[in-house]
Amino acid sequence: MEVPAPLISIIVPVYNVEKYLKDCLSSVQEQTLRDFECLCVDSGSDDSSVSILKEFAAKDPRFRVFSDEKMKSVGQARNKGIREAKGRYIFFLDSDDFMASQTLEILMTFLETHNADIVCCSFQKVPENAAFQKQNVIDLENFKYRLTSIPLKDFMEKTLPIESMVWNKLYRAPLVKSVNFMEGLRRGEDEAFTLEILNKTRRLMVLPLPFISYRIRPSSLSKEAISAQYLEDYALVLPYLYKLLTEGKDERDHRQIRAFFAKKIYKRYITHVLDKTKKGEREILKKLSREKLRQLRDENILQIKDLPFFKRLRLYFFLRKKTV
């Protein structure tokens, strides 16, 4: 007899997280909504992560384990999970984080009740040594949710708290399966995926409830550091996203999208490089930043006129190799 498809597919990319993995998987196992599958995709861990995955899968058939050391990025692992997913809805969870016990039940209820394509929740930062504990029932009476039919516009203009990360959202599966994570990137895959999927989304709901516990650990901080790879990856993503988002749009939408990208580019290639890098690395990154800024300008993705006056001036002198 054919096994019925699960209601929700949870996709967990895994790589060398033995210290945190049990908390993550326990938070999945303790969900009040029981009809799910958890697709754990390991990218060649050399610690005990795979053993932990197999232990959970042996005791609970809802956990499915995939392991492939050839996968080199989170994007590849998530794409594997998407291909294997059988649920009507898809949820992403990072393997060093954990979620409240009512997360799936509440998100799915609101998504269905309001006929949304995506429902987003909030998150809280927790210390590295935080442990998952089964939470009490969450009070839903005294909070305000937001519903939008223009999620991409709201994201670009920041009129709603729609974050670029993928691990605080429940999606309808057909929407997710129409998009792929860009593989090979070390930075920016979440934002690229989110922009592409918001471009296809007709209704999105925001719930200001911190269901996800985001663990702050040394590698989390290193991911935020500015590096040559960071600058290279973003320049690689931008032309694809710009073409995707402007295709079929009118001039007014083009201006809005250009302004959005101009702010993003300025932040990454000027603010981050000049204000958030160590002195010894700064000159090398400034040189690479100038190269990428000229490239984006020549491709008409960066139009300096879309920036406020002071930022235009700072960018002008930066490109002329003057001190800013």
Average pLDDT of every residue of the chain: 90
- First CA to last CA across the chain, in angstroms? 70
Q: Is the pLDDT of residue 137 over 60?
A: no
Q: So what's the pLDDT on residue 39?
A: 98
Mean pLDDT confidence for 307-311: 92
Q: Which two tokens stand for residue 13?
A: 């990319």
- Residue that the structure tokens 């929407």 belong to: 175
Q: Is the pLDDT of residue 60 over 90?
A: yes
- Residue that the structure tokens 């129409």 belong to: 178
Between 120 and 185, the higher pLDDT residue: 120
- b or e along 119-132 (b: 16 or more beta carbons within 10 Å of the residue's beta carbon)? bbbebeebeeebeb
Q: So what's the pLDDT on residue 118?
A: 98
3-state class (DSSP) for residue 65 = strand
Mean pLDDT confidence for 51-79: 93
* Contact between 228 and 289 (Cβ < 8 Å): no
Mean pLDDT confidence for 181-189: 83
Q: So what's the pLDDT on residue 136?
A: 56
Q: So what's the pLDDT on residue 278?
A: 78
Which phi and psi (to 5°) does residue 319 adopt?
-70, -25
* Contact between 230 and 205 (Cβ < 8 Å): no
Q: So what's the pLDDT on residue 9?
A: 98
Q: Is the pLDDT of residue 305 over 60?
A: yes
Judged by average pLDDT, the poorest of 50-54, 129-133, 190-194 is 129-133
Residue type, 272: H
Query: What is the distance between the alpha carbons of residues 324 and 318, in angstroms, rounded to a whole number?
Result: 6
pLDDT digits (tens, 9 = 90+) for 246-280: 988 888 888 899 999 999 999 999 998 888 777 77
Between 170 and 1, the higher pLDDT residue: 170
Q: Is the pLDDT of residue 154 over 60?
A: yes
Q: So what's the pLDDT on residue 228?
A: 87
Q: So what's the pLDDT on residue 110?
A: 94
Q: Is the pLDDT of residue 243 over 50?
A: yes
Which phi and psi (to 5°) does residue 66 adopt?
-130, 135
Residue type, 250: D
CATH number of 8-217: 3.90.550.10
Query: What is the distance between the alpha carbons of residues 41 and 116, in angstroms, rounded to a whole number?
Result: 28
pLDDT digits (tens, 9 = 90+) for 2-24: 678 999 999 999 999 999 999 99
Name the residue among 269, 253, 245 with its Cα closest to residue 194.
245
